[in-house]
Amino acid sequence: MTDETTTIWYTRCPVPTASGIALDTGRLAASLSAAGLAVAPIQQAGLDEAHFDHRLPALFREGGNVPALWARSRGERTRLVGLTWVPELQAIVTRPGTGVTGLDDLRGRRLILPTHGGERVDFFRAMALRGFEAALRHAGLSLDDVRLVDAPAPLPGTRDVGADGFYRATVTALHAGLGDVAYVKGAPGADVIARDGLVCLHDLTDTDDPRLQVNNGTPRTLTVSEDLLARRPDVVARYIGALRQAARWAATHPHDTARIVAAETGSTLAGVARAYGGALHHRLEPELVPEWIDHLDDQKRFLLRHGVIPRDFEIGEWIDPGPLAASDAYLSPETTEVIS
């Protein structure tokens, strides 16, 4: 990137994010336009894979932590500048008639891991594996007590949303009898449970221990290209300020927030309500909470242990808290205080 760069690239997962709110309300474009900059999605550059590998200069990414950790582990020059924690449905499900009625029945059962193979990080497989491990631990069991079954799944695309975009392969495998139990999450997961008549055995959001909720979406990561941060820290701070402004707007607009999140995830409003609860609109502002950082480090160790990411690295060295602090300068006076 050069200092003459006028386009800032963005990508976000189809999940609840401040980025989605800032884009829908026009706050991100307006903030960057005031600095003579344009903001555009990676699809406009024809570089969809940057959503996963972050190989695009002047790029911001907000979304699941598995691809972000994977990219950093592979040596991509990114910095972590914010985190969010949105408690969401993480359901262990079965189809009717399996005889599985609770977590205690999982011993010896076949648990479905959607698997696409290939060189790109298999984050759906990693999510299911982490969800299963947490649920089994809650029941006093471990992965050694069950059978893990890889089920073929297509390579996810950046435009995949909704119940089918997320869980078609998983539900197909479940109904075909390839396995007895599956993992679904978020609003698409809530919709697929309702639509396909699945039985929810356990929702990890109902556990009091947040460590059992750690997964790809908890916490979510906000990352930025290291080159952009080095050359234009003001732009990075401005961008984060726009996200924080949007998140604070969301905190006073719960119905609009739910509508935007439904569109972002390709889900129903009922699915959004079931998956994220009544406090969703208060959960979207990027922060760097020490407890969340510890949970992200735990997630990194899990991914290393299971071979999802290739190399270890220090989470603390990845984080740059400067841009989040500097973003205070880009908040409007009426939203300088945290909205509660």
Last residue within a domain, chosen from 157, 188, 213: 213
Is residue 294 in some structural domain? yes
CATH classification of the domain holding 269: 3.40.190.10
> Cα dist. 208→53, 212, 219, 291 in Å?
34, 8, 16, 15
What is the pLDDT, as a whole number, of residue 3?
45
Say if residue 103 is in the same domain as residue 208: yes
Say if residue 98 is in the same domain as residue 201: yes
Say if residue 116 is in the same domain as residue 132: yes
Order across the sheet with 220-225: list the strands.
Answer: 38-41, 7-12, 59-63, 220-225, 78-84
Say if residue 268 is in the same domain as residue 171: no
Is residue 140 in some structural domain? yes
219: cis peptide before it, omega within 30°?
yes
Is residue 329 in some structural domain? yes
Per-residue pLDDT of the chain in tens (340 residues, 90 and over written 9): 344 568 999 999 999 999 999 999 999 999 999 999 999 999 998 899 999 999 998 999 999 999 999 999 999 999 999 999 999 999 999 999 999 999 999 999 999 999 998 889 999 999 999 999 999 999 999 999 999 999 999 888 878 888 898 999 999 999 999 999 999 999 999 999 999 999 999 999 998 899 999 999 999 999 999 999 999 999 999 999 999 999 999 999 999 999 999 999 999 999 999 999 999 999 999 999 999 999 999 999 999 999 999 999 999 999 999 999 999 999 986 543 433 2
Assess contact for 87 and 127: CB atoms under 8 A: no
Q: Model's pTM, two decimal places?
A: 0.95
Last residue within a domain, chosen from 194, 213, 232: 213
Last residue within a domain, chosen from 213, 247, 268: 213
Is residue 2 in some structural domain? no
Split into its structural domains, the chain has a count of 2
CA distance 196 to 162: 13
Is residue 235 in some structural domain? yes
Say if residue 316 is in the same domain as residue 264: yes
Say if residue 127 is in the same domain as residue 189: yes
User: Which strand (E) or helix (H) includes residue 156?
Assistant: none
What is the pLDDT, as a whole number, of residue 169?
92
What is the pLDDT, as a whole number, of residue 282?
98
One-letter identity of residue 117: G
Is residue 226 in some structural domain? yes
**Residue 252: domain span:** 7-85+218-335
Assess contact for 45 and 51: CB atoms under 8 A: no
- How many angstroms from the chain centroid is the CA of residue 32? 24
Which DSSP string do the residues of 263-306 spell out, in sequence order?
A: HHHT--HHHHHHHH-TTGGGS-S-B--HHHHHHHHHHHHHHHHT
Say if residue 188 is in the same domain as residue 129: yes
